[in-house]
Amino acid sequence: MDLHEKVKTLGELKKSDWQSLSVKQEIRKNLIRKLKSGEQLFEGIMGYEKTVLPQIQHALLSKHDMILLGLRGQAKTRMLRKLVDFLDEYMPIVEGSEINDDPLNPLSRYAVNLINEHGDDTPVAWVHRSERYGEKLATPDTTVADLIGDIDPIKAATHKLNLADENAINFGLIPRTNRGIFVINELPDLQPRIQVALLNIMQERDIQIRGFKVRIPLDISMAFSANPEDYTNRGNIITPLKDRIDAQIITHYPKELEIGVSITRQEAWDDRGENIRIHIPDVYREIVERAAFEARDSEYVDQKSGVSTRMTITAMEQIISSAERRATINDEKEATVRIADLYHMVPALTGKLELVYEGEQEGAMNVAKHIIGKAINLTFKQYFPDPNSRSEDEKSSYKSITDWFSKGNDVDISDMMSHDDYERSLLEIPGLKKLVQQKISSLNKEDLVCWMDMVVEALHQNSMLSKQDLDDHVTYSDMVGSMFSSFSDSGEKGFEDFDI
């Protein structure tokens, strides 16, 4: 039987082998044990193995309070919530205590009185580590009473207490997380006068409430998250508080494409559990992630704001939904993601990209499509020769394809086109299937057509094919022929109209 199941009184706790440790010592002890055993730390967090995670471990080993500083969507809150894994599974408290009083070292008047009255028969309760974590999103309306506490006249009246009685205190969130971990997210949003209230906790490790002479020493590990101040512009971390935070750890976006792909694969809802199976070619996952990398370098996007990893997650989910909708309409049991589906992730981009002035002038939708097109083109060039290369050998790879279009042929692909019609349309283009089979090894039937679709779109991105993009379908045709057609449609003379 575990200790938390058999120890129910203070006397039994004293006879057990349980030792009272400070919360930071407890975290340090468990971290060392996990490191020795080779246990995985911060499960589900990727891309920080050699940068952020070692720094967090160093802070915990040093018994430091910390702040994670980084742009949005960099898993700051998720990492802070995983700190609870370094606490003991169960912790004893004086039963009924509002501030998790240590039975061997009681703090509150309630716990002291209870132990004085019952001695070794004082009832002991056990708190699971999940209940020892407190969190508050800093908002402008947050008060000192919310975080620290205040005198509660109603409580005093109900229990017929004098307002000077310590039992009249209504403890705030931080004291209620005593002997645990407390996190404040978006710290700069906390008003400076509220930040001042944290100074004693960070240094002297106690709280003071109103005019009470009593000071209550807390045992707590504090952690914070914030965006860089030059981005938020909503407030600052006051200098005395910043000085009391022991470790400032800078987070970042994935530095490698493969890491980003893995994060999106882990987080996106791609297993819908329905009767329709959605197949996502690996190269399309790569395109989605490259769109985020391109957005983080785009001159149209405000880089101080950042491009959240949530963008690729929601983008992937919308792409899957586009394929799912098409399969449902066509009564198909399987669907494979296409280029048309990639452009249905535009709402995920427009909702998460903060544009600079030039981007606003271009329009959010145009910027999103530009980023997607660039991601497709860059991914394409990782596998195929550059259509704009000066090398004639590389250019000749596409000759049979472009010649077919130059003869007046075109390809019309509808968003809702069945798979058979979609495949048939692309197979009409001579040389396209052969090119893909030459350049891409280990192709399965599902991926073959998707690669062919990507090649056609990439040729458009390299100005070798024209593309007419309507609401629910696109038409690819010869670039020069399309230009002549546009001249004729606008009433301008084509070459055939001139007397030569």
Q: Which residue has the tokens 């022929």?
A: 481
Residue 387 lies in a domain: no
Q: Which residues contact 170 (CB under 8 A, 6 or more apart)?
A: 145, 149, 150, 151, 152, 155
Would you state the pLDDT for residue 41? Answer: 96
Same domain, 289 and 435: no
> 486 and 410 in one domain?
yes
Tell me the CA distances in angstroms from 148 to 20, 209, 211, 301, 362, one per residue in order: 24, 7, 14, 40, 49
Indicate whether 389 belongs to any domain: no
Q: Are 147 and 266 contained in the same domain?
A: no
Does residue 13 lie within any of the structural domains?
Answer: yes
Note down pLDDT in tens along the chain; length 500 residues. 688 889 999 999 999 999 999 999 999 999 999 999 999 999 999 999 999 999 999 999 999 999 999 999 999 999 999 999 999 999 999 999 999 999 999 988 899 999 999 999 999 999 999 999 999 999 888 998 899 888 777 777 787 777 666 777 788 899 999 999 999 999 999 999 899 989 988 887 777 776 666 678 899 999 999 988 655 556 789 999 999 999 999 999 999 999 999 999 999 998 887 789 999 999 999 999 999 999 999 999 999 889 999 999 999 999 999 999 999 999 999 999 999 999 999 999 998 999 999 999 999 999 999 999 999 999 999 999 999 888 887 778 899 999 999 999 999 999 999 999 999 999 999 999 999 999 998 888 889 999 999 999 999 999 999 999 887 889 999 987 655 554 445 554 443 443 43
The answer as to whether 185 is a domain residue is yes
User: What is the number of domains present in the chain?
Assistant: 3
What is the rounded distance in angstroms from the CA atom of residue 386 to the CA atom of residue 394? 7
Is there a single domain that holds both residue 126 and residue 231? Answer: yes
Domain limit, last residue, from 192, 222, 250: 250
Q: What is the pLDDT of residue 494?
A: 44
End-to-end CA distance of the chain: 102
Domain boundary, last residue among 207, 235, 250: 250
How do residues 188-206 score in pLDDT, each as one tens digit?
Answer: 999 998 999 899 888 877 7
Instruction: Determine which helix (DSSP H) or strand (DSSP E) holds 250, and give its type and residue range.
Output: strand 247-250
Instruction: Give the 3-state secondary structure of residue 75.
Output: coil
pLDDT reported for residue 125: 97
The CATH code of the domain that includes 448 is 1.10.10
**pLDDT score at 158:** 80
Taking only Cα atoms into account, the Rg of the chain, rounded to an integer number of angstroms, comes to: 31
Same-domain pairing of 79 and 186: yes
**β partners of residue 222:** 182
- CATH of residue 20's domain is 3.40.50.300
Both 479 and 330 in one domain: the answer is no
Same domain, 377 and 400: no
Task: Please check whether residues 98 and 122 belong to one and the same domain.
Answer: yes
Residue 481: the pLDDT is 62
Position 362 in a domain? yes
The model's pTM is 0.88
| 429 shares a domain with 369 | no
| Domain contains 93 | yes
pLDDT of residue 214: 63
Strand partners, 332: none
Domain of residue 433 covers: 394-418+425-500
Inside any domain, residue 267: yes
Residue 203 backbone class (left: φ over 0; alpha: ψ -120 to 50; beta: rest): alpha
**Predicted pLDDT of residue 37:** 97
Q: 3-state class of 493 per DSSP?
A: coil
Q: Are 239 and 272 within one domain?
A: no
* 234, 250, 266 - which closes a domain: 250
Q: Are residues 224 and 87 in the same domain?
A: yes
Q: Is residue 388 part of a domain?
A: no
Residues 377 and 242 in one domain: no
CATH number at residue 269: 1.10.8.80
